Copies of this chain bind each other. A is one copy, B any other.
């Protein structure tokens, strides 16, 4: 199969009998200062473009203009249904604005997050959206110093000048959830945590402790099991929980819906009824949460819209030439009470 060399501006110029500059200006329909091109030549150029099937070379263009039109997103675990929705949201806004999107799945491995940083620096990505688990201040510094716009979703306040955040302050939502459980009579509420040392994991555990405290329920360490945000480990966690609990829990708060759903099924397999014998609630409101039986009580995050928001933050920052002061957009949470509690 003979594949032709891609045609370049030069080819088009030759074919149309004009200069390279002219072709460039026509295809970009440049509007700058004193650029005048007759309709006649414009047509001739477009004809040539069609005839040769010309497509601009993005690398050359980027090299010259210092614009790559690339955004990137880093997610901790693309297999968690939470993140595809976030990605979709980002992609929506990105492609509306002429950006393409690089997606990196860290697969929960710190070294992959580091690799992400290297990759975006190499690629001269213009902006990155992330849900960082392991990256720290020094990584953000490297990124922003390379003049890359950054928007992250996290619970800590803007960690850096020039970094926008979707601020996950779920204190209130977690309190509401715990209050709900308490109002149903629960006092021994267990927590299956996410990975400790990660932002989301630490944050949810802290929120759980805070909410308990506020409700006047003493924190009981034997009711906490350290998980990893994934479904696979859940049966083991439940074993551990029942083994170590001084008194068995009457409710379980899992760090995310994926774990909560796995918990419900596991409890069912053990012959326990949810919510009659034990209540379960999660966090994220992934689509499965509303569908299953019993439907899962959880905290809604509106992932797709948050993705759109992340992308918008980036694009605004880019259009402002990164002169914007950093912003922290508080996220809206909603306790969704269903019949798993």
Contact = CB atoms under 8 A, between A and B. Distances in A.
Contacts of A123: 58, 100
A79 B88 contact: yes
Task: List the number of copies, as a whole number.
Answer: 2
Contact of A261 (B262, B265, B291): B291
A56 to B, nearest CB: 6
A233 B83 CA distance: 22
B103 A115 contact: no
A63 B83 CA distance: 34
Contact of A78 (B88, B102, B121, B144): B88
Given A3-B146, A95-B115, A88 B63 contact: no
Contacts of A95: 115, 119
Nearest to A84: B78
B265 A293 contact: yes
Residue from A55, A291, A293 whose CB has the most chain B CB atoms within 10 Å: A291
Interface residues of A, number: 54
Contacts of A62: 59
Nearest to A121: B55
22 contacts: A1-B162, A3-B147, A4-B145, A6-B146, A55-B146, A58-B59, A58-B124, A59-B60, A59-B62, A60-B63, A78-B84, A79-B84, A79-B85, A81-B84, A83-B84, A95-B115, A100-B123, A101-B102, A231-B287, A261-B288, A265-B293, A288-B288
Interface of A: 1, 3-4, 6, 55-60, 62-63, 68, 78-79, 81, 83-85, 87-88, 91, 95, 100-105, 107, 115, 119, 121-124, 144-147, 161-162, 231, 261-262, 265, 268-269, 287-288, 291-293, 322
Given A84-B105, A101-B103, A288-B288, 12 more contacts: A3-B145, A55-B122, A55-B146, A58-B59, A59-B59, A63-B63, A79-B85, A84-B84, A95-B115, A101-B102, A101-B104, A102-B102
